[in-house]
Structure 1
Amino acid sequence: MTSDTERFHSRLRVRMRARATDEPNRASSQLELLFDLTFVVAIASITAQLAHGIEQGQGIQTIAPFLQVFFAIWWAWMNFTWFASSFDTDDAPYRLLTMLQMGGVLVLAAGVPAAFNDGDFLVVTLGYLLMRLGLIAQWIRAAVEDPTSRRTALRYATGIAVVQLGWILRLLLQQANLLPAQIQLASFVTLAVAELFVPMWAERHRRTSWHPHHMAERYGLFVIILLGESVLAASTGVAASLNAGGVSGALITISVSGLVILFALWWIYFLEPIGEGLSANRDKSYFWGYCHYAIFAVLAALGAGLEVAVEQTGHHLEVSAATAAYGVAIPAGLFLLLFWAVHRPVITHQVVHPSVIIPAGVIVLALPLSVSLIGVVGVVATIAAVCALVVGVTTIRRTNVHESN
């Protein structure tokens, strides 16, 4: 006999309707996993550009384009993810429109070097346009095929289209040299804020039916992608160091420490029952979802910082030891503090206690002050020890609580 799943996939078109918020065993689809892979290219590109900027002593100047391009990547991923949680049909039209959005991600990734090096956002904006066109088409389809969601879907399609026209106008003014440099950042922030308001305006009448455990899994998978990119960046630094000076004790120490940091941050992120928290506090979804921009951004920046720190240790880049140390400490420390702050309103009883994670974050942020005494290797190794200590203390504390109950 043919299973329900096989019959579903054999159909060319499925009527799009809002999915149940309590759908059992809801997990990421194969298409969602394939969609995520296109973001690997874009994230790898901006991580490499940030690392190069730090190496050339232009880390501060690189932060603005890094955050701008990362916003486009994050916002496109997030819009697709929340839509899919509510309306995924996985039929032929849905898959083709998803492929269009994937193509937009790849175009955006191709434009990252020009955006960083020349301030030219032409290709990045065109890639973003392709992603938005695919999403607008999905929302129009939802409006046509699901009467109960029609008003919300049309508001989404309208809001996204209007803001996209703003991005196009901004690009045209830039290309014609009619947008003064001093207001380019202000115009970006204005349009980004408008993007953030679209979902809140669209769902005032009726909220979409996203699945809490599905969303928790999707965000966790994006965290894994970002950590994977950090592994790649650190490996790039190791390869460059080996080519320049061969193996050394310092290189081995900082490489192992970098791996421990990434593994510890992964462990910490998945300690909290995020799916249960979102299920009990659906009204906190905007705060939780939007604030993950900062969590994701610092994880992407951590990869660049590790690459610079490893290379600086292996063949002494011109960048100062303090800069290399801060390149790791700032994103790692901010991750610890942001992780606590973002999950605090959503999870009533957090597994990672604030008395553990807050002091750890502060210590990590302060460690570069000791770089003149212990060096970059010492700073990174100590960061690894602090992150590992958070995991160890939390695990022991959690075990003791379970045993007492």
Structure 2
Amino acid sequence: MSKPLRSRMERIGESANATTLELFFDLVFVFALTQVTALMAETPTWHGLLRGTLLLAVIWWPWIGYSWLSNLVKADEGTARVAMLVAMAAMFLLALAIPEAFDDLPGELDGPLVFAFCYLLVRVVHLWLFWIAAEDDEGLRAQLLRFLPSVVGGTMLLAIASQTSGVTQTALWGAAVVADYGGTYLSGTKGWRLNSAKHFAERYGLIIIIALGESIVAIGVGVTHLPISWPIVVAAVLGLTIAGSLWWSYFDTHVLLCERALTQAEGDERVRMGRSAFTYLHLPLLIGIVMLALGLKKVLGYVGGEKGHTLADPLYGPPLWAMYGGVSLFMFGYAAVAWRCMRNLKVQRVVLGVVLLVLVPLVSYMPALGSLGVLTLLLTGLIGYEWVKYQELRGAIRHAAHE
């Protein structure tokens, strides 16, 4: 006799690591990020940036749902494995529909409606699997019921938005994000479970790596159709240095301290920290990286002579704000996560975030390569300052993490 459906899933322990299936799932997510960057690059206007931000917020929410689910049961065991693969298929189709998420292109299917339907399918599979995984945990099942209205509200608003256009459509997308994020927040944390702080922190660290990888892809994609030249080489190295600086700023000690804080927290406090510091406050980090990728892509096109641009042409307007503002948003998000987890105010990060915003009007008169160089100099300067100032503390934190 076969086992009941609920017995085919295995709970994870405190020392669990991310599974290969979760990493496979993330590959679909990185494709979605690439699609969003390409969409914003086609229409680099303020409205285009707003729509790109809304897209990132929408696709982030299903991903975080599965990060919580896979912290309860192993993603690659039994029923969870099949459900994750189904969700991956839906997420991949959703990513394919991103170029038509707002404006339908001539063809057989309605692009915005396909996007909304795939989003619904990803959410339904998540809720169904979570309900089964809850088994006899009445607290978790009660929380899922409190969570349900936000899912219904968000998906319904996206479906309605698919049949509209222009400002009305953008407003409905904004309302869908508010319904999902606000409804989840108002439903509380009482019944959620966070079994492994190590696994949870690792999942979010991996998604930051994936986003940074997307920024590197943007560097390459921006010049694939252009002949290689010294300006392209210099811009590519500077772009890679910026991505490396963001990696350093997050993974050198920050992620270790956040994981430690999450491990030390217990019960509902661990759940609240996971929700605020990771589920909500990692979204600005992700948006910042994708906006940076958009700026890098534009700079590479400029220095490569795309569309008649020359080395003397400045990067200005939304693409410049995306590049500098994206890194600024990353710094603010980083500082917010550090404050929530460790009650440690990262003054230098906040200061850099403000400085970057102040500099935008000034560097808008510089050649695109020059504005990229200034950004690189500021980021490497921050890394160098922290490396010298906190050298002994860094060593203690990193060595303690490996003991």
1:17 CA drift (Å): 6.7
Asked if the contact 1:140–1:154 (Cα under 8 Å) also holds between the matched residues in 2, the reply is no
Give the equivalent residue in structure 1 for 2:363.
371
Matched, 1:36 2:26: yes
SS at match of 1:390: helix
Tell me the residue number matched to 1:252: 233
- Please state how far the C-alpha of 1:152 moved relative to its aligned partner: 1.9
Relative distance call for 1:366 and 1:94 in structure 2 (3 A) is same
Query: Using the alignment, how far apart are the partners of 2:152 and 2:344 within structure 1?
Result: 44
CA displacement at 1:60 relative to structure 2: 0.8
Distance 2:336 2:155 in 1: 35
Residue 95 of structure 1 and its aligned partner are, at CA, apart by 0.3
Structure 1: distance between partners of 2:194 and 2:322: 40
**Does structure 2 retain, via aligned residues, the 8 Å contact 1:13–1:91?**
no
Map Cα deviations across residues 42-69 of structure 1 (whole Å, 9 max, x no partner).
1111111111222xxxx21212321222
After TM superposition, the structure 1 stretch with the greater mean CA deviation from structure 2, 81-90 or 35-44, is 81-90
Q: Determine if contact 1:251/1:314 at 8 Å carries over to the other structure.
A: yes
CA contact (8 A) 2:219 2:296 kept: yes
Do structure 1's residue 222 and structure 2's residue 204 form an aligned pair? no
Q: Are the equivalent residues in 2 in contact too, given 1:107–1:126 (CA < 8 A)?
A: no
For 1:267, the aligned partner's letter is W
**1:331 alignment counterpart:** 326
Match of residue 316 from structure 2: 322
Measured at CA, do residues 153 and 19 of structure 1 come closer, stay the same or move farther in structure 2, by a change above 3 Å? farther
1:156 aligns with 2:144: yes
CA 1:195–1:277 in structure 2 vs 1: closer, same or farther (change >3 Å)?
A: same
Q: Deviation of residue 167 (structure 1)?
A: 4.6
Out of 342, 345, 351, the position equivalent to 1:359 is: 351
Deviations 1:143-178 (A, max 9, x none): 3x2x1x233235315633x44443554355456x5x
Q: 2:113 aligns with which of 119, 122, 128?
A: 122
TM-score (norm 2): 0.83
Shift of 1:91: 1.9
Structure 1 residue runs of 5 or longer lacking an equivalent are 1-11
**Residue matched to 1:235:** 220
Larger mean CA deviation between 256-265 and 330-339 belongs to 330-339
Distance 1:115 1:199, change over 3 A: closer
Q: Which has the higher helix share?
A: 1
**Post-superposition CA distance 1:173-222 (Å, at most 9, x none):** 456x5x68554444333332332245445555433133222111111100
Matched, 1:170 2:157: yes
Match of 2:86 among 88, 97, 100: 100
What SS is found at the alignment partner of 1:396?
helix
Structure 2 residue ranges without an equivalent (≥5): 106-110, 398-403
Distance 1:132 1:376, change over 3 A: same
Residues 9-33 of structure 1 show CA distances to partners (whole Å, capped at 9, x for unaligned) of: xxx984547544xx23x21111111
Cα-to-partner distance string for 1:205-260 (whole Å, 9 max, x where unaligned): 43313322211111110011111111111111122332xxx413x32222211110
Does 2:289 match 1:299? Answer: yes
> Against the structure 1 CA distance between its residues 253 and 116, is the aligned structure 2 distance closer, same or farther, given a 3 Å change threshold?
farther
Quickly say closer, same or farther: Cα 1:168–1:316, change in 2 above 3 A. closer
SS in 1 for 2:38: helix
User: 1:8 maps to which residue?
Assistant: none
2:198 counterpart of 1:213 = yes
- Change over 3 Å in CA distance of 1:376–1:198 after alignment to 2: same
Letter in 1 for 2:315: A
How many Å apart are 1:82 and its aligned residue? 1.1
Deviations 1:60-115 (A, max 9, x none): 12123212221221101100001111233632211000011101111111111112
The alpha-carbon distance between structure 1 residues 165 and 333, as it changes in their structure 2 partners (threshold 3 A), is closer
8 Å Cα contact 2:8-2:78 kept in structure 1: no
Cα gap change, 1:139 to 1:310, in 2 (>3 Å): same
- Does the alignment pair 1:269 with 2:250? yes
Contact 1:229 / 1:303 at 8 angstroms: preserved in 2? yes
Q: What's the offset of the Cα at 1:118?
A: 4.3
- Kept in 1, the 8 Å contact 2:90–2:118? The answer is yes
Distance 1:95 1:337, change over 3 A: same
CA contact (8 A) 1:306 1:327 kept: no
With the length of structure 1 as denominator, give the TM-score of the two structures. Answer: 0.83
Q: RMSD of the TM alignment (CA)? A: 2.9
Q: Secondary structure at the residue paired with 1:322?
A: coil
User: How big is the shift at 1:381?
Assistant: 0.9
- Write the letter of the residue equivalent to 2:130: W
Aligned 8 A contact 1:108 1:128 in 2: yes
Q: CA 1:157 to 1:124, structure 2 compared with 1: closer, same or farther past 3 Å?
A: farther
Measured in 2, the distance between the counterparts of 1:217 and 1:195 equals 24
AA of the residue aligned to 2:356 = V
Deviations 1:268-290 (A, max 9, x none): 01131220122345233322121
Number of equivalent positions: 375
- Partner Cα distance (1:199, 1:126) in 2: 21
Q: Does the C-alpha gap of structure 1 residues 61 and 121 become closer, same or farther in structure 2, counting only changes over 3 Å? A: same
Kept after mapping to 2: 8 A contact 1:104/1:127: yes
- Tell me how far apart the structure 1 counterparts of residues 366 and 157 of structure 2 sit (CA, whole Å): 48
Counterpart Cα distance in 1 of 2:395 and 2:169: 57
What is the letter of the counterpart of residue 327 of structure 1? A
Query: In 2, distance between residues paired with 1:114 and 1:274?
Result: 38
